Structure 1
Amino acid sequence: MLTIANGPIGMLSLDEPACPSPPRTWGEDPHEFAVGLVKKTVVGVSVPDIIYERDHVRGAFIEAARALAAQGCSAITSNCGYSVLYQKDVIEATRLPTVLSSLLLLPAVVAALPPDYQVGIICYDSTCLSDEHLKASWPQAQRSRLNIVGIEGTEAWSKSNSSDAVYEWPLFAKAIENCVEVLMRAERPTGAVIVECCAFGSFVPMIKARMGVPTCDIYDAAKLLLGDAASGIIKI
């Protein structure tokens, strides 16, 4: 049986330098969590470690998740959508409700759309969003129903894809706007968008306004899938 408690939300955070973040960046404003927020660094796991699925990442996530459970957290989340690959590992290790990625919304979003519509996924690096990531979110994953775009190759990506990551938000805005343009020019219509990267939260209103379709991110996934455990999260 899963544990349902009244403790804080536990967040597994990548090991990278602190950086000022814009509003609506997941986990950066503890006031968004009325039940409290406990952040735990996943030691030795930076952006390149997780997107390239390096061998030590799984064990580091499990160890950090167990530490959060030991601190009395009522549910577990993370600040990187690629950590969906470790969703089952974290649940098995902690027995706590766990939502590590907005990608967990994929089955419901795809099922809600006509078969000729695609779900757009805006992610950090589309070349690293593997079949394993998709199946961890959606066991019957069909890439034909998805249009996956990312910011790889941009200046924003180059500066942040490092253990000494630098986040220059105007560069991210430009890169994400380019992703939106790609989705809007797609041959098949986009019926909804899922934003994978937790660092893209402040750009969700822009994406939604430009695309004119439902746009979901980690805030939506946590509120929907954690239920009572996430009742303290304030939607911005």
Structure 2
Amino acid sequence: MSTVAAGGKSIYGAPLGILMLETRFARIPGDMGNAGTWPFPVLFRVVKGADPKRVVLNQAAGLLPNFIEAAQELVHLGAEAITTNCGFLSLFQKELAEAVGVPVATSSLIQVPWVQATLPPGKRVGVVTVSGKSLTPRHLEAAGAPVDTPFIGTEDGREFFRVLIMGEKDDLDVSLAEQDILDAGRRLLRAHPEIGALVLECTNMPPYAKALQAALGVPVYDIYSLITWWHAGLRPRGFA
């Protein structure tokens, strides 16, 4: 009996498409934009005009058509689900899902209500973001997160914000970047001792999640935890 292989795509075996910002900074292992981060194949597409300043500091103004076009290109290639390279793109969650007709997860912030459901009474989720001054109730609401979620940014750090958002250089001092994340997390927990878990908004933060969890003693979730969970639904494990 013959076997028929289904066609209709350009690329097979990579069901997840990632919309990338236009950047030049180093993407170390664990960063969403480092292909080696993922334990499965992914498809990347850089969105024209989507630099970090415009997306984060200016709420991605005027960029929705660019993201829709790039997402549609990924779906045409073979992507069965679409995610993005910046948590601030939660603003485009509804529009992107409507435009591409496949599952879309624009932001790590989508996990906030899920994580909240796991916490004991009296505990809540906190968020570490690359830019606390730029994260608004609109971003949280679009991700399904409570608008009063406590959060903190990394603007006062020495490396992370300066390199990733301001683009002051291409190279990244990983030790300094990690210290910026740790400092922000500690400040957030001092201000909100009721926090029982953290969600990292920025897709460049997963390399530092382990150190943050060890330092603070609370669960830490990020874009890696979201996407690996999501992929498990796209390609469920088979059991004998």
Q: Please tell me the TM-score bracket, short chain as reference.
A: 0.7 to 0.9
Matching residue within 124, 134, 139 for 1:118: 124
Higher helix share: 1
Greater gyration radius: 2
Distance of aligned partners of 1:107 and 1:38 in 2 relative to their CA distance in 1, 3 Å threshold: same
Contact 1:81–1:103 (CA<8 Å) still a contact in 2?
Answer: yes
Shift of 1:167: 5.0
Q: Which amino acid aligns with 1:94?
A: V
Aligned equivalents of 2:188 and 2:118: distance in 1? 19
Shift of 1:193: 0.4
Contact 2:109–2:140 (CA<8 Å) still a contact in 1?
Answer: yes
User: What TM-score do the two structures reach when normalised by structure 2?
Assistant: 0.83
* Runs of at least 5 residues in structure 1 that lack an aligned partner in the other structure: none
1:212 matched to 2:217? The reply is yes
Tell me the equivalent position of 1:192: 197
Instruction: Please give the residue correspondences for 1:61-140 in structure 2 after superposition, counting only pairs within 5 Å.
Output: 61-138=67-144
For the residue of structure 2 that corresponds to 1:128, the secondary structure is coil
Deviations 1:83-116 (A, max 9, x none): 1111111111111122221110111222332453
Distance of aligned partners of 1:37 and 1:160 in 2 relative to their CA distance in 1, 3 Å threshold: same
Shift of 1:41: 0.6
Give the fraction of aligned pairs with identical amino acids, expressed as a percent.
27
Contact 1:80–1:197 (CA<8 Å) still a contact in 2?
Answer: yes
Deviations 1:158-191 (A, max 9, x none): 2332467635223311211111221331243211
Contact 1:66–1:94 (CA<8 Å) still a contact in 2?
Answer: yes
For the residue of structure 2 that corresponds to 1:155, the secondary structure is coil
Tell me the equivalent position of 2:151: 148
Deviations 1:119-141 (A, max 9, x none): 120110011111111001116x2
Contact 2:124–2:195 (CA<8 Å) still a contact in 1?
Answer: yes
Tell me the equivalent position of 1:24: 30
Shift of 1:195: 0.7
Distance of aligned partners of 1:183 and 1:153 in 2 relative to their CA distance in 1, 3 Å threshold: closer
1:158 matched to 2:157? The reply is no
Aligned equivalents of 1:97 and 1:199: distance in 2? 22
Tell me the equivalent position of 2:17: 10
Task: Output the aligned Cα RMSD.
Answer: 2.3
Contact 1:160–1:167 (CA<8 Å) still a contact in 2?
Answer: no
Deviations 1:44-76 (A, max 9, x none): 011111112142222211111111111111211
Q: Which amino acid aligns with 1:210?
A: A
Contact 1:180–1:207 (CA<8 Å) still a contact in 2?
Answer: yes
Tell me the equivalent position of 1:223: 228
Contact 2:141–2:147 (CA<8 Å) still a contact in 1?
Answer: no
Contact 2:81–2:104 (CA<8 Å) still a contact in 1?
Answer: yes
Contact 2:31–2:37 (CA<8 Å) still a contact in 1?
Answer: no
| Number of residue pairs the alignment of both structures matches | 223
For the residue of structure 1 that corresponds to 2:150, the secondary structure is strand
